[in-house]
Structure 1
Amino acid sequence: MIGCIVTGHGEFAPGLTRAVEMIAGKQEQFQVVAFQEEEPLESFENNLQQAIETLVKETEGVLIFSDLLGGTPFRSAMVAAAPYENVEVLTGTNLPMLIEIGLLRTFEDDVQALAKKAIETGKEGIQNPQLNISSDEPTEEDEMEGI
């Protein structure tokens, strides 16, 4: 199993994690390390380091999901992950990628392959769909089918 850490500014990480668990169920070996505005940087970095150390001992690898490229959580994650071969940091995290990885990571032991899949899924989750609204009045058949 690959462990996961979700980090980001404010309520980003706890909020995404609650959404993942609402959709995909309770996640094991899945930790949240939020960077709060009032929190000293050193405290955040210590929490992040502890989460990494715990998951490295208990899993085959660790994926760290951060919110923003160049932000404090991302930079801290990069520094904390640097000594480990089996810890990868991703940025630009979105809900589709977390759900997909939450479901796949129990069957995967290659953290780099899982990171690649997370990026693919994250990109696929970004869409600009258009609602096709016709000016035609609904037919009786449409109304019966519940458009």
Structure 2
Amino acid sequence: MKNIIILTHGEFSKGITQSCRMIIGEAAIPLALSIQPDSSADMVNSMLENALCHYPKDETIVLLTDIPGGSTTRSALSMLNTHTNLIIVSGLNLGLLLEIAVLESTGDLMEDRSLIEEIIADSRTTIQIVGDSTISSSDYSTGSDSLAFADSDEL
């Protein structure tokens, strides 16, 4: 998906965008927006409006926020009245961002939304406690190289 905006508290958006670039390259670089403690709702809404206006109105835009119910998400929701091509996803993490970034847009908002809903469902299953003594290490080797990375010299 090429039309991605990330809106987070502090510099989280910039850090996660840098991590995304490190993993998938320059293919789909999200626009990183940050709010600060002194950012008013009007300032954030204006920043979002300016960002959204840079994207074609006939293409899907995905707006990712960090905290459901937080000020970033509330500002994002205020954009739905004027931007009908917008899909808002809250609860940002790197795995979710990567999946959305490599997603090919179908050109249809409802189809894109359905694909993103599948990504969100899959993303929920990746949140887990690892290294638990009650679970054998073989339980973590289900198609992921994360255990191999944790044992490598790269740490």
TM-score bracket, shorter-length normalisation: 0.7 to 0.9
2:65 maps to 1:66: yes
Q: Which amino acid aligns with 1:14?
A: K
Larger Cα-atom Rg = 1
- Which structure has the higher relative contact order (CA within 8 Å, separation 6+)? 1
Query: Does the aligned pair in 1 maintain the 2:41–2:75 contact within 8 Å?
Result: no
CA distance in 2, matches of 1:40, 1:47: 11
Query: In structure 1, what is the equivalent of residue 125 of structure 2?
Result: 124
More helix by share: 1
Superposition CA RMSD, Å: 2.5
Q: Which amino acid aligns with 1:117?
A: E
Gaps of 5+ in 1: 134-145
Query: Does the aligned pair in 2 maintain the 1:5–1:32 contact within 8 Å?
Result: yes
Gaps of 5+ in 2: 138-150
Query: In structure 1, what is the equivalent of residue 11 of structure 2?
Result: 11
- CA shift at 1:108, angstroms? 3.4
Aligned pair count reads 133
Moved over 4 A (4+): none
TM-score, scaled relative to structure 1: 0.77
Among 84, 106, 109, the residue aligned to 1:108? 106
Percent of aligned positions that are identical: 26
CA distance in 2, matches of 1:61, 1:67: 20
Query: Does the aligned pair in 1 maintain the 2:2–2:28 contact within 8 Å?
Result: no
